[in-house]
Amino acid sequence: MALARGRAEKDTDAHLGMLFRWDGAPTDPYQVRQVEIIDTDGETVLDTITSIEHEAGTGEYYVVAAAAHLDAAGRYCDVWYFTWVNGEGEQSVTQDFYVQETAALEHYGPDLQAGVHYLKGFPELAANAQDGITQADLDAAMNVADVMIESIFGADYDIAGWLESPPLLVSAVWELLAAAKATEFRELRLGAPDEDGDAARLTGVARDLLDGILHGRPERLYLRDADGGIVRPRRSRAPTQPRVAAATSDYF
């Protein structure tokens, strides 16, 4: 089984996607010729992939980076070569993905780390709450995000197995919510939460993603499993009951 971009592990196939847009709308280019996988040195081409999956009219394209090339932890790049209109020049766009050591996922996304991704501006973790944000605060934020995901999706989707292999968009929403909660904790330590601060902004981005997934606004965003198949809502089944959160959010 190929793991999604946000879950890539050493010695395991990685399923990498690209969404092409024209004037903001998902659009198929005339041609997507190939994808290069670049090593952690940022230069060495490990593989050139010409077998590209595509669902016509969606602007979505997928390739599988072979496990044999992902034998070290670190940052890899996938470079997509495409032509928008027949007869025009070829263009390229570069994305990246991080390959982790193999480890069981305990939440609906990768563990929060101070100074990484949405917490890039965070200070180093403190040993106790009187001195700042602690690992216990990050753990609480992740647990709250777990409960939010279960509450949001549990009524409409069969989420059994999502802890082991969540859809990529679910992991993206989870990370935003967890980071927003951790940021909210930090803002509360400094004083009242800022309505225009980082926690509010992260939550707003999560809401926008959820609007696309749940309501199709402003465009439909499909949940996809590790193999790229669409995960559809279930019908006439009892909802999944969420766990009880240890904390709540003023924003969500």
Is 192 found in the same domain as 139?
Answer: yes
- What are 132-164's pLDDT values in tens digits? 888 888 999 999 999 999 999 988 898 988 988
Q: Which of 119, 170, 144 is nearest to 7 (CA)?
A: 170
Residue 151 burial by Cβ neighbours in a 10 Å radius (0-12, 13-18, 19+)? middle
Q: What single DSSP character describes residue 5?
A: G
- Give the pLDDT band (50/70/90) at residue 241: low
Q: Which residue has the tokens 């997934």?
A: 213
- Total domains present in the chain: 2
Least confident of 20-29, 161-170, 188-197, 206-215: 188-197
Q: How far is CA 114 from the centre of its chain?
A: 17
Q: Is the pLDDT of residue 242 over 60?
A: no
Is 141 found in the same domain as 84?
Answer: no
- What are 109-124's pLDDT values in tens digits? 888 888 888 898 888 8
Is 136 found in the same domain as 58?
Answer: no
Question: What does the buried/exposed string (b/e) look like for 19-52 if buried means 16 or more CB atoms within 10 Å of the residue's CB?
Answer: ebeeeeeeebbeebebbbbbbbeeeeebbebeeb
Output the pLDDT for position 104: 60
* CA angle in degrees (0–180, nearest 5) for 3-221-10: 10
Q: What single DSSP character describes residue 11?
A: T
- Give the pLDDT band (50/70/90) at residue 246: very low
- Give the pLDDT band (50/70/90) at residue 103: low
- What are 26-61's pLDDT values in tens digits? 899 999 999 999 999 999 999 999 999 998 888 999
Report the predicted TM-score, pTM, of the whole model to 2 decimal places. Answer: 0.59
Which domain range does residue 219 map to?
106-252
Is 235 found in the same domain as 112?
Answer: yes
The residue among 99, 131, 166 that closes a domain is: 99
Q: How far is CA 147 from the centre of its chain?
A: 17
Is 226 found in the same domain as 154?
Answer: yes
Q: Is the pLDDT of residue 238 over 70?
A: no
User: Token digits for 23?
Assistant: 């004037």
Is 130 found in the same domain as 234?
Answer: yes
Is 116 found in the same domain as 80?
Answer: no
Question: What does the buried/exposed string (b/e) look like for 160-174 if buried means 16 or more CB atoms within 10 Å of the residue's CB?
Answer: eebeebbbbbbbbbb
Confirm if 78 and 69 have CB atoms less than 8 A apart: no
Is 116 found in the same domain as 205?
Answer: yes
Higher pLDDT, 1 or 113: 113
Backbone φ/ψ region at 35: left (φ over 0), alpha (ψ -120 to 50), beta: beta
Q: Is the pLDDT of residue 243 over 70?
A: no
Is 41 found in the same domain as 13?
Answer: yes
Confirm if 9 and 60 have CB atoms less than 8 A apart: no
Q: Is the pLDDT of residue 67 over 70?
A: yes
Output the pLDDT for position 105: 66
Is 72 found in the same domain as 143?
Answer: no
Whether the bond between 218 and the residue before it is cis, its omega within 30 degrees of 0, is yes
Is 14 found in the same domain as 72?
Answer: yes
